[in-house]
């Protein structure tokens, strides 16, 4: 192969060698090529354009060299080797023969060594040239620009000398001769490596500790981090039944291919409710990277919070964002930035808390220039869209409500944070309490208190329990049911912590009165923040809102993590939920807040209008005039989701349980009672409106309602009030037969609320909770409403045997309960006994759908025993289990004389000939089965014939499905022909339900 061909064959590798290293490496290759006259000056200028991606310049250079022929190609290889330091035979520094007649040529011929001689002396040389009048001040400044590295300045000086015909080249040559040769300017890309190291150590120190809320301790993240359940969000455009497994991913695998919905996008979206652990998970990601344990494909990780970005009020460029908002390179800024632009695949940017970004995602403004400044929101949106730093990975976290379909278009994969598993809660407590005795007691306490157990799946609640463990162990936690209970507990804990002993405040004496001024100060600030989408408060704002040392010492305001590098970091609430909690306090106890604002809270619809930062530059907090209007305006401008959380707390604070605590704090003028009755009215009316909006049932169909997220919020607020009477009033007259609450982020806490309210329905209801995260603990919470459930659909809810066994125990006592759907959970043979007893003892039970679980022949045999004693079941779904031949045989034999089963699915169950024979025998005898689904098994032509044979004596079956088997049709073979005829004889039904 000739050099040119070889050169061409090596092209992609060469591009890599030229572009994947630093700009310095590339420029030193150019030095060699210039000095060997492979490149003309014109060529050189075309491959050294500033601001162009290195890969583009590299490709251009290869084209130029290739066009010049074989020898030039050879020289390019030599230059690459020399620049990489592989070829040590460098020109001896001082021994070049001077060509006095043409010093400019001399400068060019010895360019590589001259650069190495002068890069450390450019400043001095420039002063000298200035002194001798060879250069103007302006020209000096051009060479000195801070964006250039010292070797780049050296090259610019040589370029200047080349084009100036005023003796400067001659002067330079003479001067240079006396200088020693320095080591290569930046051997092996030191600038970017130094930056990488600095970034790593910055991120490491930022992520090492989990600053706990009260600021009394600093926990090592490593010691207390507990795995959080991370689930891949299903692609809703694909039929849910065909999405097999429960896709849980581990944190280190979040960039893997599974779950990818858009190959072209770079953003991994991480969604979770407030307190579900998004920030902590991101912090763990940063720590794993910074300590070299995972994510090492990324050389650079840039962590941002949307709170921090929001505070940037001037135009920013990509470079300013990375360097000024994250980590500043001590040298070679331009070179480092160029490296980042050239190697986006080595870069990860994380953005925490998109729901707190006051700008809504839009793709209206396109900004592609990495160097031009633009607004911070435009920068973020264009990064997410891939217009900037394409191929750099991004992780964005958000609460669900802030994720629009618009944003989803640019998402590579979406993950949901489901909170701690049961084991996770236990592990969390053990990690937080080194004394195993204490840890044991806390774990027992949590497990024994069902409502508390449900709440603890949300990490922030686990943290509260852990923090308040002393109070809980002392006084028990039977009274802890609601979110408000938990937040009051932690408030009391902090008050206790901040009170000197002699003030006489103890848990149990339950008075907040001495701390009322502080609570109101915090509440005012919180509400103002919600209304202006401000979550971080400067010292000036704190001062303006009347906060004093005592207020701060309570511990609910902490230094903002987003601004940790600054010495006077602003303050933020421990967590957004605490901001809402204090805002609720203020709405109830603030002297000037009238009951009319309650309506505004529960009828909240955000009005887009002028910025409240302008309307209320903290003045509303300072002056009481027009307070009511100000509060209303703030509520109208706040993020609806934060208003919902505030309303939940407000309802909780007005519960009978906490009435005493609140009433003690009210001034004579505080219309607390009026506020309470307004809340009741709003809740009851809100729910009624929801139900009334359901269109009347189509004749022949049940009246069904698809719940909106607002419905779940109203139910939660009702639950917080713990007012049985109100719950009864709100729903007892409502008529709905099918209530669909799918894809609504229903966890255990929501299940408790649903049960609390729905148990009052007068008519039986089919409750459809598919595609949520109910889990075993959620199932437990649902038990109180099982009595009114005619059917319960719990597809894809992370439920295991334990949860189902509890459910069945209860269901056996519920006359109306007739249908259970459990497609895609974690059931194994261990729950088969329980399910069999459901079949055996509940003779009005109609449908059991167990598709896509882990039931084998062992479980199928147990189920078959239950079936033998049953005479009501009509639908049995076992799609996607592994009952095999033995299981099929057991089920078939149980069905010989079964009189009610109409539909049986054994799709995808590893069934072969033996199973088919047993099923054929069953078909000969059974007189009720109308549809049998056997797709995706191991059936052969003969098995089909066997089944067909069985069918000859059967008169009930209308549909036999065995598509997707590999069946060879031979028209000369009579039996198979018969099968063909038969399969066309049986009508294909709708395959709507597989599970
Ligand atoms: P989010 O960002 O979703 O609102 P956070 O990450 O702030 O939630 O979590 C709230 C609190 O819960 C944290 O401050 C921490 O105390 C606790 N927490 C969250 N996730 C974990 C975890 N994986 N391991 C240990 N503690 C956690």
In this predicted model, what pLDDT tens digit does every residue of 693-714 receive, in sequence order?
777 766 666 667 777 778 899 9
Cβ of residue 225 lying under 6 Å from some atom of ligand 1: yes
Segment (H or E) for 541: helix 539-544
Rounded distance from Cα 663 to ligand 1 centre (Å):
33
Sheet with 557-559: strands ordered across: 536-537, 571-573, 557-559
Average pLDDT over residues 751-763: 93
Q: Are the beta carbons of 842 and 790 closer than 8 angstroms?
A: no
Global pTM reads 0.75
Cβ of residue 277 lying under 6 Å from some atom of ligand 1: yes
Report the nearest-CA residue for atom 26 of ligand 1: 225
- Tell me, what's the pLDDT at 234? 67
Least confident of 246-250, 572-576, 596-600, 907-911: 246-250
- Tell me, what's the pLDDT at 750? 92
Cβ of residue 224 lying under 6 Å from some atom of ligand 1: yes
Average pLDDT over residues 871-899: 96
Segment (H or E) for 211: strand 209-211
Rounded distance from Cα 412 to ligand 1 centre (Å):
24
Grade residue 614 by pLDDT with cuts at 50, 70 and 90: very low
**Average pLDDT over the chain, rounded to an integer:** 84
Q: How far apart are CA 10 and CA 89, in angstroms?
A: 24
Q: Which residues contact 300 (CB under 8 A, 6 or more apart)?
A: 195, 196, 199, 340, 346, 347, 348
Greatest CA separation for the chain: 114
Asked whether residue 233 carries a pLDDT value surpassing 60, the answer given is yes
Q: Are the beta carbons of 104 and 46 closer than 8 angstroms?
A: no
Place of tokens 């609430």: 573
- Angle CA 5–6–9, to nearest 5: 90
- Tell me, what's the pLDDT at 588? 94
Asked whether residue 138 carries a pLDDT value surpassing 80, the answer given is yes
Rounded distance from Cα 105 to ligand 1 centre (Å):
66
Cβ of residue 460 lying under 6 Å from some atom of ligand 1: yes
Rounded distance from Cα 325 to ligand 1 centre (Å):
24
Cβ of residue 274 lying under 6 Å from some atom of ligand 1: yes
Report the nearest-CA residue for atom 4 of ligand 1: 275
- Tell me, what's the pLDDT at 228? 93
Cβ of residue 419 lying under 6 Å from some atom of ligand 1: no
Q: State the burial class of residue 972 (Cβ atoms within 10 Å of its Cβ: 0-12, 13-18, 19+).
A: exposed
Parallel, antiparallel or unpaired: strands 557-559 and 931-933: unpaired
Q: How far apart are CA 349 and CA 339, in angstroms?
A: 15
Asked whether residue 188 carries a pLDDT value surpassing 70, the answer given is no
Q: CA quadruple 442, 447, 452, 453: dihedral positive or negative?
A: positive
Cβ of residue 424 lying under 6 Å from some atom of ligand 1: no
Residue 561: both structure tokens together: 């993590």
Cβ of residue 226 lying under 6 Å from some atom of ligand 1: yes
- Tell me, what's the pLDDT at 867? 97
Cβ of residue 276 lying under 6 Å from some atom of ligand 1: yes
Rounded distance from Cα 587 to ligand 1 centre (Å):
27
Cβ of residue 278 lying under 6 Å from some atom of ligand 1: yes
Cα 104 from chain centroid (whole Å): 60
- Tell me, what's the pLDDT at 391? 87
pLDDT tens digits along 825-873: 999 999 999 999 999 999 999 999 999 999 999 999 999 999 999 999 9
- Tell me, what's the pLDDT at 474? 76
Parallel, antiparallel or unpaired: strands 931-933 and 819-821: unpaired
Cβ of residue 203 lying under 6 Å from some atom of ligand 1: no
Average pLDDT over residues 268-285: 94
| Letter string b/e over residues 578-592, b meaning 16 or more CB atoms within 10 A of that residue's CB | bbbbbbbbbbbbbee
Residue 805: both structure tokens together: 């066994």
227 CA: nearest ligand 1 atom: 23
pLDDT tens digits along 486-544: 899 889 888 887 766 545 445 455 578 888 899 999 999 999 999 988 899 988 888 88
431 CA: nearest ligand 1 atom: 25
Rounded distance from Cα 957 to ligand 1 centre (Å):
55
Rounded distance from Cα 218 to ligand 1 centre (Å):
14
Q: Which of 893, 965, 955, 959 is nearest to 928 (CA)?
A: 955
Cα 52 from chain centroid (whole Å): 34
Give SS3 for 521.
helix
Give, for ligand 1, the residue of 224, 277, 457 to mutate: max count of ligand atoms closer than 8 Å to Cβ: 277
Helix boundaries (H) for 303-420: 306-310, 318-325, 333-342, 376-385, 405-408
Q: How far apart are CA 360 and CA 378, in angstroms?
A: 11
281 CA: nearest ligand 1 atom: 23
CA separation (Å) from 940 to 843, 963, 966?
A: 37, 12, 7
Cβ of residue 908 lying under 6 Å from some atom of ligand 1: no
576 CA: nearest ligand 1 atom: 4
Report the nearest-CA residue for atom 20 of ligand 1: 277
Report the nearest-CA residue for atom 6 of ligand 1: 277
> Looking at the chain, how many residues does it have?
995
Q: What's the distance, Cα to Cα, between the start and end of the chain in Å?
A: 63
Average pLDDT over residues 92-112: 71
Grade residue 613 by pLDDT with cuts at 50, 70 and 90: very low
| Letter string b/e over residues 650-662, b meaning 16 or more CB atoms within 10 A of that residue's CB | bbbbbbebbeebb
Q: How far apart are CA 854 and CA 246, in angstroms?
A: 12
* Strand residue runs (E) in 776-869: 789-793, 819-821, 847-849
Give SS3 for 127.
helix
- Angle CA 445–451–454, to nearest 5: 90
Average pLDDT over residues 87-112: 68
352 CA: nearest ligand 1 atom: 2
Give SS3 for 810.
helix
Cβ of residue 195 lying under 6 Å from some atom of ligand 1: no
- Tell me, what's the pLDDT at 568? 63
Sheet with 393-398: strands ordered across: 248-249, 229-232, 411-419, 267-271, 393-398, 347-352, 300-305
Cβ of residue 272 lying under 6 Å from some atom of ligand 1: yes
pLDDT tens digits along 630-669: 888 889 889 889 999 999 999 999 999 999 888 888 877 6
Asked whether residue 10 carries a pLDDT value surpassing 70, the answer given is yes
Instruction: Name the percent of the chain lying above pLDDT 90.
Output: 41
Give, for ligand 1, the residue of 280, 419, 639 to mutate: max count of ligand atoms closer than 8 Å to Cβ: 280
| Letter string b/e over residues 932-944, b meaning 16 or more CB atoms within 10 A of that residue's CB | bbbbbbbbebebb
Q: Are the beta carbons of 971 and 941 closer than 8 angstroms?
A: no
């Amino acid at each position: 192969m000739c050099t040119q061909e070889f050169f061409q064959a090596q092209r992609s590798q060469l591009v890599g060698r030229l572009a994947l290293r630093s700009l310095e490496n590339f420029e030193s290759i150019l030095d060699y090529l210039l000095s060997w006259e492979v490149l003309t000056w014109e060529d050189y200028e075309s491959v050294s354009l500033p601001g162009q991606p290195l890969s583009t310049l590299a490709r251009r250079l290869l084209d130029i060299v290739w066009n010049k022929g074989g020898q030039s190609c050879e020289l390019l290889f030599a230059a690459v080797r020399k620049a990489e330091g592989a070829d040590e035979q460098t020109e001896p520094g001082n021994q070049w023969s001077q060509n006095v007649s043409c010093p400019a040529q001399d400068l060019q011929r010895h360019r590589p060594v001259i650069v190495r001689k002068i890069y450390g002396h450019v400043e001095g040389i420039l002063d000298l040239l200035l002194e001798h009048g060879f250069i103007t001040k302006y020209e000096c400044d051009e060479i000195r620009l801070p964006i250039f590295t010292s070797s780049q300045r050296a090259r610019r000086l040589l370029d200047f000398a080349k084009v100036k015909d005023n003796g400067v080249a001659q002067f330079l040559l003479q001067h240079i001769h006396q200088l020693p040769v320095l080591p290569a300017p930046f051997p092996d890309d030191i600038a970017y490596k130094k930056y990488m190291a600095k970034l790593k150590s910055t991120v490491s120190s930022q992520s090492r500790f989990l600053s706990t809320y009260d600021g009394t301790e600093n926990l090592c993240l490593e010691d207390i981090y507990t795995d959080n359940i991370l689930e891949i969000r299903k692609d809703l455009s694909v039929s849910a039944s065909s999405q097999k497994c429960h896709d849980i991913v581990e944190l280190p695998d979040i960039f893997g291919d599974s779950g990818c919905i858009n190959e072209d996008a770079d953003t991994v979206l991480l969604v979770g409710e407030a307190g579900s652990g998004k920030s902590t998970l991101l912090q763990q990601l940063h720590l794993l990277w910074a300590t070299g344990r995972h994510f090492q494909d990324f050389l650079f990780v840039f962590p941002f919070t949307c709170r921090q970005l929001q505070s940037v009020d001037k135009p920013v460029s990509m470079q300013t964002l990375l360097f000024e908002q994250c980590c500043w390179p001590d040298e070679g800024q331009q070179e480092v930035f160029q490296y980042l632009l050239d190697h986006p695949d080595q870069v990860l940017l994380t953005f925490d808390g998109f729901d707190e970004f006051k700008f809504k995602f839009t793709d209206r403004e396109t900004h592609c220039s990495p160097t031009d400044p633009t607004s911070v929101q435009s920068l973020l949106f264009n990064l997410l869209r891939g217009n900037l730093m394409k191929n750099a990975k991004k992780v964005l976290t958000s609460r669900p409500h802030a994720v629009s379909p618009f944003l989803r278009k640019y998402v590579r994969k979406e993950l949901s944070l489901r909170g701690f598993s049961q084991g996770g809660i236990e592990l969390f407590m053990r990690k937080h309490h080194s004394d195993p005795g204490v840890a044991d007691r806390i774990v027992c306490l949590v497990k024994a208190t069902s409502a508390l157990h449900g709440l603890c799946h949300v990490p922030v609640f686990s943290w509260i329990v852990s923090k308040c463990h002393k109070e809980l162990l002392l006084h028990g936690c039977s009274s802890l049911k609601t979110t408000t209970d938990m937040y009051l507990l932690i408030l009391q804990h902090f008050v206790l912590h901040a009170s000197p002993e002699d003030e006489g405040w103890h848990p149990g004496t339950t008075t907040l009165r001495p701390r009322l001024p502080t609570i109101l100060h915090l509440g005012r600030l919180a509400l103002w923040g919600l209304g202006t989408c401000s979550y971080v408060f400067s010292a000036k704002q704190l001062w303006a809102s009347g906060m004093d040392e005592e207020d701060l010492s309570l511990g609910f305001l902490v230094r903002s993590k987003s601004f940790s590098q600054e010495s006077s970091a602003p303050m933020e609430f421990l967590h957004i939920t605490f901001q809402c909690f204090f805002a609720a306090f203020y709405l109830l106890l603030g002297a000037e807040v009238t009951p009319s604002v309650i309506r505004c809270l529960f009828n909240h619809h955000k009005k887009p209008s002028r910025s409240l930062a302008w309307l209320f530059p903290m003045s509303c907090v300072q002056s009481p005039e027009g307070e009511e209007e100000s509060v209303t305006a703030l509520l109208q401008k706040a993020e609806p989701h934060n208003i919902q959380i505030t309303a939940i707390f407000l309802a909780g604070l007005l519960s009978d349980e906490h009435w005493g605590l609140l009433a003690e704090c009210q001034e004579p003028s505080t219309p607390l009672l009026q506020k309470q009755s307004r809340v009741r009215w709003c809740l009851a009316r809100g729910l009624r409106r929801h139900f009334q909006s359901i269109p009347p049932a189509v004749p022949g169909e049940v009246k069904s309602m698809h719940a909106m997220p607002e419905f779940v919020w109203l139910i939660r607020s009702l639950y917080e009030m713990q007012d049985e009477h109100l719950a009864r009033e709100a729903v007892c007259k409502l008529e709905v037969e099918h209530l669909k609450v799918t894809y609504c982020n229903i966890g255990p806490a929501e299940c408790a609320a649903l049960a609390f309210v729905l148990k009052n329905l007068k008519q039986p209801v089919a409750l459809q909770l598919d595609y949520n995260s109910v889990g075993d603990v959620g199932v437990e919470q649902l038990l109180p409403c099982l009595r009114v459930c005619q059917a319960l659909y719990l597809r894809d809810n992370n439920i295991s045997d334990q949860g189902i066994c509890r459910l069945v125990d209860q269901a056996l006592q519920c006359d109306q309960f007739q249908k259970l759907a459990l497609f895609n959970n974690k059931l194994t043979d261990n729950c088969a006994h329980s399910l069999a007893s459901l079949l055996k003892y509940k003779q009005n039970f109609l449908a059991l759908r167990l598709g896509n679980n882990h039931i084998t022949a062992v479980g199928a045999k147990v189920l078959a025993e239950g079936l033998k004693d049953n005479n009501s079941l009509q639908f049995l779904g076992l799609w996607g289990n592994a009952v095999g031949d033995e299981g099929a045989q057991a089920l078939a034999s149980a069905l010989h004389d079964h009189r009610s089963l109409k539909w049986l699915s054994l799709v995808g169950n590893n069934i072969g000939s033996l199973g088919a024979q047993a099923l054929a025998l069953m078909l000969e005898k059974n007189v009720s089965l109308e549809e049998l689904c056997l797709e995706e098994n191991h059936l052969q032509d003969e098995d089909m014939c066997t089944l067909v044979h069985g069918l000859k004596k059967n008169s009930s079956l209308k549909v036999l499905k065995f598509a997707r088997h590999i069946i060879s049709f031979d028209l000369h073979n009579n039996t198979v022909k018969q099968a063909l005829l038969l399969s066309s004889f049986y009508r294909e039904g709708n395959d709507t339900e597989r599970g």
